[in-house]
Chains A and B, each alone.
Chain A
Amino acid sequence: MKVFFLRIYDIYQFSLRFWKEAFLPPYEYKEVFNQFFEVGIKSLSIISLTGFITGLVFTKQSRSSLAEFGATSWLPSLMAIALLRALAPLVTALIIAGKVGSNIGAEIGSMRVTEQIEAMEVSSTNPFKFLVVSRVLATTCIVPVLAIYMGFIGLLGAFVNVYNNEQTSFVSFFQEAFMKITFLDLFTLVLKSAIYGYTIGMAGCFNGYYADQGTVGVGRAANTAVVVSMFLIFIEEMLIVTLINTYR
């Protein structure tokens, strides 16, 4: 129990240090943009594929239920609500947790066990700023962008299914889809994606930064980064939805 609370305290200190270092110069612009590329551009293909299939399959599965009530015309708005309120941020976060979170944990972990982080410290540079701040900033900023992108790609998947069945035009599909979407939905999408991104970055960096016991520790850091961030993402999803629904 004592170890658990000490761990919580370490995480708190780690987060506090992130906020402190993120706003203090010098800034590692180059590394931040490098990480934007690593997290964003390199995840586009998997996000595109997953988003399109999610939209297409979800529409296909929902069609039969709605058809029983003659309500297939609700499909565009149903899909928009499902994708933008829940599926896009959640699925994007889970994919990024698996792809990027594990990568961050393993990369920083192996730098720790091969003394590369200590090498940065003794060469009078700040490894926390270079490794942690840049990665957490990148995941926090890029996950919302990817979630919005996945939302639209998912709607494209939904459109393909709707077009094949009802020959609805592109414009009327999207008009229909966005009729029920409010500013609060888009705000929530961005906010919770940013929180998920922050969680993924912090979980990866924290576990990597404090990795020990050689290669075993690196594997453990990568694994723990994914498990912890996925667990926290679901908890956060529940809390955010509960909170937002009180305003809706």
Chain B
Amino acid sequence: MSTDTAEKYHKHTPAPIDCNNVVISLRNIRKSFGSLEVLKGVDLDVCKGENVVVLGRSGSGKSVLIKIIAALLRPDEGTVRVLGKEIDQLDARELQELRSKIGFSFQGSALYDGMTVRANLEFPLVRNQRKLTRQEVDKAIRQVLDDVGLSRTIDQMPAELSGGQKKRIGIARTLILHPEIMLYDEPTAGLDPVTSVEINDLINDVQQRYNTSAVIITHDLTCAKATGERLVILSEGKFLRQGSFEEVFHNDDPIIKDFYNYNFISDS
């Protein structure tokens, strides 16, 4: 299978990856909703500085997986270790402390509707770092807005922003706490191709500038190729294959072949 069509989107310069330091470790994760088994024994390690893309069709359990990592959902079975801590063993305070090191970019951005961009960014910051002065808070807000290229939106309401701008502000809101791990849930879903490429660049920029490790959930191959050092295909609750983009897609598995063909309609 040729990957030439995708090559032009691939602008990513890999960051230094430290595989002696595993920041996320999932072992035998199982999760069901009623009689529907969504995850059927998933194992995953994410190294420090690495961007791992989890690819899969809608309903394959990608979002459930990422929510388990962020402790928004509890697995029925298996262990989740994040930054060396087993999530199940943490009390509320420890979990809160751990979460301040995890940034989560939601599919729908999840900006607080009733607050301006400034208030959205201030919200997590002042609650996690209570001793900051007004000037320090303002400086931090301006810094992250500069980093995502949206300084002018500071006093706008979320309803006044475009889809791409909302994604950027959503990412900025997580960056303001300087997370060690970023979790992106469908970062390019619902965006036009140009904005999608901008978001992919931003994800890479965040990795370089903030030295983050990331799990990127997507069904967009362009995003996967542009942002991931390692790809994992999730199908029917299990990991089908993992490796670099080329390693994953150079095979004849019909599921993977279909996935590739539907994303990159044709090479001609």
Contact = CB atoms under 8 A, between A and B. Distances in A.
25 contacts: A107-B114, A114-B108, A114-B110, A114-B113, A115-B106, A115-B107, A115-B108, A116-B112, A116-B113, A118-B72, A118-B106, A119-B106, A119-B110, A119-B112, A119-B170, A119-B173, A122-B99, A123-B100, A123-B124, A123-B127, A123-B128, A123-B177, A124-B100, A125-B123, A125-B128
B5 interface: no
Contacts of A116: 110-113
**Which of the four size classes fits the interface of chain A?**
10 to 19
A118 B124 CA distance: 13
Contacts of B89: none
B108 A124 contact: no
B156 interface: no
B104 A124 contact: no
Interface of B: 67, 70, 72, 96-97, 99-100, 102-104, 106-108, 110-114, 123-124, 127-128, 130, 170, 173-174, 177
B173 A123 contact: yes
A205 to B, nearest CB: 16
A110 interface: yes
Interface string A95-127: 000000000000100110011101111111110
A26 B129 CA distance: 12
A115 B66 CA distance: 14
Q: Across chains A and B, which 7 residue pairs bring their CB atoms closest together, nearest first?
A: A123-B124, A119-B110, A124-B100, A122-B104, A115-B110, A124-B99, A125-B127
Give the interface SS of chain A, mostly helix, strand, loop or mixed.
helix
A121 B98 CA distance: 11
Contacts of B70: 122
Contact of B124 (A114, A115, A125): A125
Nearest to B120: A119
B177 A124 contact: yes
Contact of A118 (B97, B102, B110, B111): B110
A22 to B, nearest CB: 16
A124 B110 contact: no
Interface of A: 26, 107, 110-111, 114-116, 118-126
A111 B114 CA distance: 10
A26 B93 CA distance: 12
Nearest to B104: A122
B102 A122 contact: yes
Nearest to A115: B110
Nearest to A129: B127
Contacts of B106: 115, 118-119
Contacts of A111: 112-113
A110 B159 CA distance: 14
A124 B95 CA distance: 8
Nearest to B124: A123
Contacts of A125: 123-124, 127-128
Nearest to B128: A124
Contacts of A120: 123
Contacts of A126: 96
A231 B72 CA distance: 34
Given A26-B130, A116-B113, A122 B72 contact: yes
A38 B54 CA distance: 43
Nearest to A121: B72
Given A116-B112, A118-B106, A119-B110, A124 B72 contact: no
A123 B99 contact: yes
B130 A121 contact: no
A147 B200 CA distance: 56
B22 to A, nearest CB: 21
A186 B107 CA distance: 52
Given A115-B110, A116-B110, A118-B67, 7 more contacts: A26-B127, A26-B130, A116-B112, A119-B111, A122-B103, A123-B123, A126-B96
Contacts of A123: 99-100, 104, 123-124, 127-128, 173-174, 177
A50 B194 CA distance: 56
Contacts of A110: 113
A218 to B, nearest CB: 12
B210 to A, nearest CB: 15
A142 to B, nearest CB: 19
Contacts of A119: 104, 106, 110-112, 170, 173
A191 to B, nearest CB: 33
